[in-house]
Amino acid sequence: MGFKIGLLGLGTVGTGVSEVFANPLGRHPLLQEMKIVKVGVRSLEKIRSLSLPPALLITDLEAIVHDPAIDIVVEVMGGLEPARSLILAAIAQGKHVVTANKAVIARHGAEIFAAATQAGVYVMIEAAVAGGIPVIQPLKESLGANRIHTLMGILNGTTNYILTQMQQSGAAFTDVLAEAQQLGYAEADPTADVDGLDAGDKIAILAALAFGGRIDLEQVHREGIRQVSVADINYARNLGFVIKLLAIAKLSPGTSTTADTSFPSQLEVRVHPTLVPLEHPLASVNDVFNALLIEADPLGQVMFLGPGAGAGPTASAVVADLINIAALLKTGLVANDPETPRIHPLLACSHEQYCTIAPMANLVTRFYARFLTKDHPGVIGKLGTVFGDHGVSLESVVQTGVKAGLAEIVVVTHHVQEGNFHHALSEIRSLAAIDSIPSMLRVL
């Protein structure tokens, strides 16, 4: 007896999963009722750090998802295709799926979960967000009593490492990025990480679970950290902030959480570098660590913190999902009758509506902006007048020394509407006294 697993991919995560299974003692006893029976790889010749029986490895991934002996397919190959097609094929064959693939789930989750619901199988995604930190499970199960107001997380380890290094060493973004690439913390093409796309995928997945509706990824504002300079990090520190790439999903203000509906009317879903107050719990989450802060009623604030990537942490999440499925299979919860599959309601996913995403122009937040100005007298007065004309009230204005004929002015606003702030910036940009506006960041 035992449940048979087909593994798609034997990179970092696949190797981590294999190692857990190779050495199950001291782990959950259900591990010993599961077995990896096929491993799909790109090349049989590649030298690998762990020794699997050669007979397990095959290059024909389609054969795995169609193998009638296999109960559960684990997709840890990454990328959009053929991952998406293989997941859909596995579901169509009545197999349960565990995936670590945030990109596929964020883009094709609707299609995949609809197919899974129809087939009466589970698609489990704990490993897709925040690596080894359990974040999917609490949103599905442990926090069910709550109305969730806010998800706020550091969900990308690469950018958090880069920002931490910039903060600690004073090195520039491009230098730290190059170092991170050497260390293997950043990929050769760092776009998905440093431009906020990866964090955007993850917050979209979490928001769908927390708020009970699908999220159109195209409407998620994703802004990366390329514009963050050491100058900004230093100004921020003097003002009592640290700069973090935050992924945020929250009910728009005015969206009543006690409304007579279980579906929120409007959500903010956004990723951008943010000035975080030093005393905030997310401010001290450094290096490649990830964290998710959840605000909910009646719970209050809860935070989960841990390693957001890597072979071991991600394998921990993949295997947790496998144990969950095995527990249900073992108890016979999944009926063999495809007409009436009995799926555990907390582990199923069947959102049909899309959440309405509020436009960024409506966002109400504080802003930080840095201006390089020609050293005209009265330039602060001019800035203040334009901001005032657009309803933007200022919390602090700091002018620093003149360098190469240019003075630097750093402004932090009170809470203002983003649209108004941008209108003010456009007008300021056209002032004769303004040389440039090197950075514009939101403040928590």
Nearer to a copy of itself, 229 or 252 (CB): 252
In this structure, are residues 267 and 211 in contact, taking their beta carbons and an 8 Å threshold?
A: yes
| Residues between 101 and 130 that touch a copy of itself (CB under 8 A) | 126
Q: How far is the CB of 225 from a copy of itself (least distance, A)?
A: 24
User: Applying CB under 8 A, which of residues 152, 315, 383, 407 lies at the interface with a copy of itself?
Assistant: 315
Q: Does 141 bind a copy of itself (CB under 8 A)?
A: yes
CB 130 to a copy of itself: min, Å:
10
> To which residue do tokens 């990454």 refer?
78
In the list 52, 56, 114, 323, the residue contacting a copy of itself (rule: CB under 8 A) is 323
Provide the minimum distance between the beta carbon of 181 and a copy of itself in the complex, in angstroms, as a whole number.
23
Shortest CB 131 distance to a copy of itself, Å: 9
- State the nearest-atom distance from the C-beta of 45 to a copy of itself, in Å: 27
Q: Tell me the two tokens of residue 416.
A: 């203002």
Site string for a copy of itself, 243-272 (x = CB under 8 A): --------------xxxxxx-x--------
Instruction: For a copy of itself, give the closer residue by CB, 49 or 430.
Output: 49
With helix as H, strand as E and coil as C, how does the chain read?
Answer: CCEEEEEECCCHHHHHHHHHHHCCCCCCHHHHHEEEEEEECCCCCCCCCCCCCHHHEECCHHHHHHCCCCCEEEECCCCCCCHHHHHHHHHHCCCEEEECCHHHHHHHHHHHHHHHHHHCCCEECHHHCCCCCCCHHHHHHHCCCCEEEEEEEECCHHHHHHHHHHHHHCCCHHHHHHHHHHHCCCCCCCHHHHCCHHHHHHHHHHHHHHHCCECCHHHCEECCCCCCCHHHHHHHHHCCEEEEEEEEEEECCCCCCCCCCCCCCCEEEEEEEEEEECCCHHHHCCCCEEEEEEEEECCEEEEEEEECCCHHHHHHHHHHHHHHHHHHHHCCCCCCCCCCCCCCCCCCCCCCCECCECCHHHCEEEEEEEEEEECCCCHHHHHHHHHHHCCCCEEEEEEEEEECCEEEEEEEECCEEHHHHHHHHHHHHCCCCEEEEEEEEEEC
- Which of these ranges, 133-141, 226-234, 407-415, 427-435, lies near a copy of itself under the rule CB under 8 A? 133-141
Task: Give me the least distance between CB of 196 and a copy of itself, in Å please.
Answer: 24
Which x/- pattern over 280-309 shows residues binding a copy of itself (rule: CB under 8 A)? Answer: -x--x-----------xxxxxxxxxxxx--
Q: Is 38 a catalytic residue?
A: no
Q: Which is nearer to a copy of itself, 299 or 372 (CB)?
A: 299
Note whether 137 binds a copy of itself by CB under 8 A. yes
The nearer residue to a copy of itself, 301 or 426, going by C-beta atoms, is 301
Region 14-43 residues binding a copy of itself, contact defined as CB under 8 A: 16, 19-20, 23, 25-31
C-beta of residue 179 within 8 angstroms of C-beta of residue 325: no
- Copy the structure tokens of residue 187: 């990929």
> Among residues 35, 42, 342, 376, which is the contact residue for a copy of itself, using CB under 8 A?
342
Of 102, 202, 244, 250, the catalytic one is 202
Q: Is 319 in the site for a copy of itself (CB under 8 A)?
A: yes
Q: Which of 82, 94, 134, 419 touches a copy of itself (CB under 8 A)? A: 134
Query: For residues 302 and 440, which CB has a smaller minimum distance to a copy of itself in the complex?
Result: 302
Q: Which is nearer to a copy of itself, 122 or 421 (CB)?
A: 122
d(CA 399, CA 291): 35
Pick one of 39, 41, 112, 133: the residue that binds a copy of itself (CB under 8 A): 133
Site residues (CB under 8 A) for a copy of itself? 16, 19-20, 23, 25-31, 126, 132-134, 137-138, 141-147, 257-262, 264, 281, 284, 296-307, 310-313, 315-320, 322-324, 327-328, 330-333, 342-346
Q: Which residues are catalytic?
A: 202
